[in-house]
Amino acid sequence: MSYKNAGDQYDNLPSYNVKVDNNQFLPVSKKSGQVQSYAPNPIGEHAIYGHGAAGIIHDVYFTNNTVVDPKPLLDDGVATIHFKGISNLWITGNKFINQHVLGSGNYIYLYNSEADYQMTNLNITDNTFTNVNPTKQYVYLDSSTIKNPMTDVTITGNQATTQQSVVPFVNSNFDLTGDGIKIASNSVKKQKATTTTVKPKQKITTTKVNKNAQKLKKRKQTNKTEKYVSGLATQHAQLKSNYKTYSLYNHIRGHKNWNIMKFDWKKIKSQRVYIDMRATADSGQWYRIRFSKNATTKYWIRKGALDFDKITVEEYNRDLNLMKVYPVYSLPFNDSQLAKAKGTTADISDRRVTITHRAKRTDSNGQVTTYYQMDNGLWTRALAFDLDS
């Protein structure tokens, strides 16, 4: 129980013979996969009544469970799984996985706060940790006094994989040697990311043209200056109401061999177009577009044909903790200057960051999305942070 109802009475007796086996602890997720509500912290306790006069919690089995994306806990003395003053504990055969959430400071924390009580028979074995990425260590053993260390501790056969920097698997504030301590065959391996961000190449050629369908003129380049800037290819803008008065080009006007392309505007299914490059030249300002996210045929069109999302930026000073994995950009997503992909929040080593600016992006449907600029100059969604901190 995390609360009391009026009239409730408790005898302060400890729980024991608790068995949690073969369960899933999962987050509530949005359609995009991002976490809407964290998975519950699966098991643990934080209180000892009367210094254990009525007994101490014991004989707890947490086995063969799967825990995905619990809330990151960064303060000292906390963890995803936390036990205070426990004996006869088995955390065995579980799968701990982070997909869209950053890691806690510690993942498992065992704490003895009682100078006259000895925690014993503590077993953390054969678990897998996938991208849980703790900032301190995977397991921490904390005894209130080094004169009363934990005994019969077995931490073996655990396997951790991470795409971030490697931290120790086990740490403690007492000596982890002796006949009653067995810590072996635990590994933390760094692996390459399974998904990669592909930077768009600054190729200027675009449309695939059937030579039998349209004869293209061979032209000399008349632009003396041309500057091209690529951006994240999933960005998009709305065609203006008069878009049919604009022409589509195979290159920007004034480039070598530019041509106006024959195109039937009636065949487009949406007035939203995807953009991956912009150009500034003597002939004006241009964007390279395609008519669906996965289309391979691309066209150049003048800037005046496009309505970008409205983005308002203001100074904003606040220190916040990063909590979730979100993309990181050079500019707010859908900025008319085109944002570049800069990895994810998981690539940022400091979890406590200073916010310098806030941007609110309003799309054509009136939906508002908020972005924060960090003191490293990069932008990410406000939802990546613990906004209550």
- DSSP calls for 227-295: EEEEEEEEEEEEEPTTGGGSPPBSS-TTSTT--BPP--GGG-S-SEEEEEEEEEETTEEEEEEESSTT-
Coil/strand/helix, residue 9: coil
How far is 164 from 325, CA to CA, in rounded Å? 13
Q: DSSP label at 100?
A: S
Measured CA to CA, the distance from residue 389 to residue 387 in angstroms comes to 6
Provide mean pLDDT across the span 364-377.
96
**Which tokens belong to 50?**
């009367």
- Both tokens assigned to 183: 């810590």
pLDDT at 25 over 70: yes
- The helices-and-strands tally (H runs, E runs) of the chain is 0, 30
Could you read off the pLDDT of 253-297 as tens digits, one per residue? 999 999 999 999 988 888 999 999 999 999 999 999 999 999 999
The pTM assigned to this predicted structure is 0.85
Mean pLDDT value of segment 69-87: 94
- 343 versus 204: the higher-pLDDT residue is 343
Answer yes or no: same fold for 226-306 and 310-386.
yes
Give the pLDDT of residue 207. Answer: 58
d(CA 104, CA 226): 48
Q: pLDDT by residue (tens digit) across 95-135?
A: 999 999 999 999 999 999 998 889 999 999 999 999 999 99
| 137-143, strands of its sheet edge to edge | 81-84, 106-112, 137-143, 170-172
Bridge partners for 341 per DSSP:
329
What is the distance between the alpha carbons of residues 176 and 171, in angstroms, rounded to a whole number?
A: 8
For the chain, what percent of residues have pLDDT higher than 70? 94
79 vs 9 pLDDT, higher one:
79
In degrees, to the nearest 5, what angle opens at C-alpha 24 toward C-alphas 21 and 30? Answer: 170
- Which amino acid, one-letter code, is at 27? P
Give 138's contacts (C-beta < 8 A, 6+ positions apart): 106, 107, 108, 129, 132, 158, 160, 167, 168, 169, 170, 188
The 10s digit of each residue's pLDDT in 176-232 is 988 899 999 999 998 876 543 334 444 555 555 554 457 888 999 999 999 999 999
What's the pLDDT at 81?
A: 97
Extents of the domains making up the chain:
16-190, 226-306, 310-386
CA atoms within 13 A on the CB side of 285: 7
pLDDT of 168: 95
Q: Does domain 310-386 have CATH number 3.30.870.10?
A: no
pLDDT confidence band for 4 (50 / 70 / 90): confident
Q: Which of 147-156, 297-306, 352-361 shows the lowest mean pLDDT across its residues?
A: 147-156
Q: Residue 200 has what pLDDT?
A: 40
Predicted pLDDT at 261: 94
Mean pLDDT of the chain: 91
pLDDT score of 100:
95
Q: How far is CA 334 from the centre of its chain?
A: 20
Lowest mean pLDDT across 10-14, 151-155, 235-239, 355-359: 10-14
Answer yes or no: is pLDDT of 304 > 50.
Answer: yes
d(CA 353, CA 375): 7
Instruction: Read off the tokens for 365.
Output: 């449907």
Confidence of residue 2 (pLDDT cuts 50, 70, 90): low
Say how far residue 321 (Cα) sits from the centre of its chain.
13
Work out the average pLDDT over 136-164: 91
Query: CATH for 226-306?
Result: 2.30.30
- pLDDT at residue number 319: 97
